[in-house]
Amino acid sequence: MMTDLILTEVEHRVLKLTFNRPDKKNAITHEMYSALADGLERAREDDDIRAVYITGSGDSFTAGNDLSDFRDNPPLGRDAPVNRFLGELVKATKPLVVAVNGIAVGVGLTMLLHSDVVIAGKSAVFSAPFVDLALVPEAASSLLLPRVIGTTNAADVFFTGRKLHADEALTMGLVSRVMTDEELKPGVFDIARSIAAKAPQAVKLTKSLLRKDSEAISARMLEEGGHFSSQLQSAEVLEAITAFMQKREPNFG
């Protein structure tokens, strides 16, 4: 799907995908998920693309799913654009190299768990406020986040919705490096470009070895998806989203 809300270009055999809705903190709509899924599918199928680089325009990586879209176009089926996007993350055959240039909320954090080289700018801030929105973790993050940062840290992040700053994310292992905001985008693109110049078969095999357990991941996504869909149709989610729109605290009774 063509949309200028996701910028897509190929440079030095790297497919660059850029969230480009800075006035809404790069919150992701269903048409943006479709464009992201198309990009990842193209990267998977095109032998000339050797790595994928993902970043955000403006001061944010992404504020996660567009909350009005959750209310107006809830992603309920397997064919929903968000589910196509998540499926493509799991099926990816080329390394995903991510420059987290600002806030990474919700799926902005959980997509990183499927990415290969994740580097934060100094001002990056991560959170997964699913419970705050009366939702549940998605993108197999209930399985993958405990693996990456440990069960106690993952429970803290999910239940409190608290924000992790770049240095804390580094200590926990959510990102592998922190760069200054100025050096982040050129520095991370250089990494993607250097990976894209390496022996393609060795890179693909290494990616597949690192991502061996896609069946367990897909099964967990399906299980989470069932709870996520039922919650999306609940009164608690409606209250949480309405409260966000009205810039007030939610009241869950």
- In whole angstroms, the minimum distance from the beta carbon of 77 to ligand COA comes to 18
Q: Which of 82, 133, 134, 196 binds ligand COA (CB under 6 A)?
A: 133
Contact (Cβ atoms closer than 8 angstroms) between residue 85 and residue 175: no
Q: Which of 35, 37, 49, 67 binds ligand COA (CB under 6 A)?
A: 67
Residue 190: strand, helix, or coil: helix
- Contact between 27 and ligand COA by CB under 6 A: the answer reads yes
- Contact between 64 and ligand COA by CB under 6 A: the answer reads yes
* x-or-dash string of contact with ligand COA, 94-123, rule CB under 6 A: ---------x-xx-----------------
- Contact between 61 and ligand COA by CB under 6 A: the answer reads no
| 204 vs 220: CA distance, rounded Å | 24
- Contact between 203 and ligand COA by CB under 6 A: the answer reads no
- In whole angstroms, the minimum distance from the beta carbon of 171 to ligand COA comes to 22
Name the nearest CA neighbour of 188 among 196, 197, 179: 179
Estimate the crossing angle of helix 141-149 against helix 214-232, to 10 degrees: 120
| 132 vs 162: CA distance, rounded Å | 10
- Contact between 129 and ligand COA by CB under 6 A: the answer reads yes
CB-count burial class (<10 Å; 0-12, 13-18, 19+) for 236 = middle
The residue (of 191 and 232) whose beta carbon lies closer to ligand COA is: 232
Q: Which of 18, 55, 57, 65 binds ligand COA (CB under 6 A)?
A: 65
| Full strand arrangement of the beta sheet holding 125-127 | 60-62, 103-105, 125-127, 164-165
- In whole angstroms, the minimum distance from the beta carbon of 245 to ligand COA comes to 7
Structure tokens at 116: 């290969």
**Which residue type, as a one-letter code, is found at position 114?**
H
- Contact between 139 and ligand COA by CB under 6 A: the answer reads no
Secondary structure of 103-164 in the HEC alphabet?
EEECHHHHHHHHCCEEEEECCCEEECCCHHHCCCCCCCHHHHHHHHHCHHHHHHHHHHCCCE
The residue (of 158 and 189) whose beta carbon lies closer to ligand COA is: 158
Q: Which of 14, 54, 63, 192 binds ligand COA (CB under 6 A)?
A: 63
CB-count burial class (<10 Å; 0-12, 13-18, 19+) for 182 = exposed
- Contact between 83 and ligand COA by CB under 6 A: the answer reads no
- Contact between 66 and ligand COA by CB under 6 A: the answer reads yes
- Contact between 49 and ligand COA by CB under 6 A: the answer reads no
- Contact between 56 and ligand COA by CB under 6 A: the answer reads no
- Contact between 220 and ligand COA by CB under 6 A: the answer reads no
- Contact between 130 and ligand COA by CB under 6 A: the answer reads yes
Q: Which residues of this protein are in contact with ligand COA, per CB under 6 A?
A: 24-25, 27, 63-68, 103, 105-106, 129-130, 133
